[in-house]
Amino acid sequence: MAASAAALSSLSSLSLPSSSRFSLFSTAKFTFSLLPKTPQPFLSTSSSPIIPKPKSTSSDDFDTSFFDNVRPEEDVVFNPPEPPEGFVPPPPVDDGPMETEEEIAAAYEELYGPAFSGVSVLGNDVYVMDSKLKKDTGFRSKGKKGKVKDGFEEKIVQIRRVTKVVQGGKKMTYRIVMIVGNKKGQVGVGVGKAMDVSEALQKSAVNARRNIITVPMTKYLTFPHRSEGDYGAAKVMLRPASPGTGVIAGGSVRIVLEMAGVENALGKQLGSDNALNNARATVVAVQKMRQFREVAEERETHRVLISTVSRYDHG
């Protein structure tokens, strides 16, 4: 036992000197001890955190003289400043004059473009599809939007798939012939071509609305007189009919007359069977027609001119 105690005491005092000349470390001695260390008296073994004490502040650091004369139980009276000399208060908003319906319609048309009601306050063309209307209604755009509610009905006459042979293969497009009308004397024929059917429909609708014409009709909803029109190799003959006859025509001629609102008429295709050319030939024949009052006004004007010239000649 004495020998083991002597060995432990010799090992506890063992030290490793570092006296190398080229040492990169410090020259301090490293001591290894095998005896247990006694706890330091100044270290605390408890796990409670140490909270610093706040600094004491004196009451002389804050100025509280403002609250000496304030009494919360009393009512505070507000005294506004007096207005400067020559101050005129602005008139209230509700006391101004009310806008008329024409001013409201003009402001609305200036903001949102011409309406399709048939009346333009600012004198704009109600059938022009401007860029703002195309954007709002979805014309010529890839997004799927609703149809324009302008009073015109749309009817497709023909859908054709056109194939074109190019260097890299075949290129397919679609051509759509459409007729629009309000059945109140206005009708238009349009054609649209595109790679997609939906885009071709939109193009044909825009083109038809740009080519709207007025069809002259009598009170019996028929033509005032006979007329013929041709477009390319297509030739169309139109005749008025008595009430109750109906529209007796075929092909695109019948669709044009029905969309225009004609209820009693006779039509005949005399040339080509092309649907687009026959529809346009019908439009040409309708544009040649004139109302009775137009012819009477021209004849009356011509008669007055002849009488005036003859009076000066014999005078």
Q: What is the pLDDT of residues 13-43, one digit of tens each?
A: 555 554 445 445 545 555 555 555 555 544 4
Question: How far is residue 19 from each of residues 10, 12, 33, measured CA to CA in Å?
Answer: 22, 21, 21
* pLDDT beneath 70: ranges in the chain: 1-60, 66, 96, 113-119, 121, 123-148, 305-307, 309-315
* pLDDT score, position 129: 46
| Nearest to 229, CA basis, from 190, 277, 265, 185 | 277
Using only the alpha carbons of the chain, give its radius of gyration: 50
Rounded to the nearest 5°, which phi and psi values hold at 234?
-95, 140
* pLDDT score, position 282: 96
CB 201 within 8 A of CB 141: no
SS (H, E, C) 78-146: CCCCCCCCCCCCCCCHHHCCCCCHHHHHHHHHHHHCCCCCCCCCCCCCCCCCCHHHHHHHCCCCCCCCC
| Nearest to 232, CA basis, from 194, 268, 265, 271 | 271
* pLDDT score, position 191: 95
Q: Are strands 265-269 and 247-248 parallel, antiparallel or unpaired?
A: parallel
CA–CA dist 313, 38 (Å, integer): 149
CB 268 within 8 A of CB 193: no
All structural domains of the chain? 215-315 (3.30.230.10)
Which residues touch 35 (CB under 8 Å, ≥6 apart)?
8, 12
